Amino acid sequence: MSGVERVSISLEKPLLERLERLVREGNYSNRSEYIRDLIRDKLVEKEWDRDEEAVGTVTFIYNHHTRGLTDRLTHVQHDYHDVILATMHIHLDHDLCAETVVVRGRGKQIDRLANMLRQQKGVLHASLSISSTGKNLA
């Protein structure tokens, strides 16, 4: 285990029991893996808070019959062409579509894009999944 340091933490018994349950429910092989993931999640949040370069996805559900919606969605995406890496469009049924937009850029710019898509009349739901370029997670 080169490059790995052992640390010790103190937890109240009820908190330790909850941690153990989370480790089991997450199918982690040990506490260390679970805690490493928690730390990385917090590091990603900090990157977004500092408006650093990040990656993520915006997924939204919409009714494609809403007048002018597909044109407005395309227009918004063209306004953010510099952060959009790829899109995937899925036909859920006759009326509803899902679209996932993969993005890379500054956190605030990605947030603005997600909000612009979310605010379009006819978009039923939108969510932003944040991640990192990974440069600062090792």
| DSSP assignment letter at 51 | T
- Bin 135: left if φ > 0, else alpha if -120 < ψ < 50, else beta: alpha
**Total-model pTM:** 0.84
Query: What is the structure's pLDDT at 1?
Result: 47
Query: What is the structure's pLDDT at 65?
Result: 96
- d(CA 109, CA 86) in angstroms, rounded, equals 16
Task: List the alpha helices (DSSP H) in the chain.
Answer: 13-25, 31-49, 69-79, 107-118
Per the domain annotation, does 6 fall within a domain?
no
Residues 37 and 20 in one domain: yes
Query: What is the structure's pLDDT at 2?
Result: 64
Per the domain annotation, does 137 fall within a domain?
no
Question: Could you state, in chain order, the average pLDDT of each consecutive group of 10 residues for the chain (138 residues)?
Answer: 83 95 95 94 92 96 96 97 97 98 96 97 97 87
Residues 57 and 118 in one domain: yes
Residues 67 and 31 in one domain: no
Per the domain annotation, does 30 fall within a domain?
yes
Q: Which residues contact 100 (CB under 8 A, 6 or more apart)?
A: 57, 58, 59, 87, 88, 90
CATH number, domain of 128, equals 3.30.70.1150
Residues 80 and 119 in one domain: yes
Per the domain annotation, does 21 fall within a domain?
yes
- 3-class secondary-structure state, position 91: strand
Residues 68 and 125 in one domain: yes
Sheet with 123-132, side-by-side order of all strands: 84-91, 96-106, 53-63, 123-132
- d(CA 42, CA 38) in angstroms, rounded, equals 6
Q: How many domains does the chain have?
A: 2
Query: Which range of residues forms the domain containing residue 19?
Result: 13-49
| DSSP assignment letter at 4 | -
Residues 61 and 123 in one domain: yes
Residues 77 and 34 in one domain: no
User: Which residue, chain included where needed, has tokens 């899109």?
Assistant: 87
Residues 124 and 62 in one domain: yes
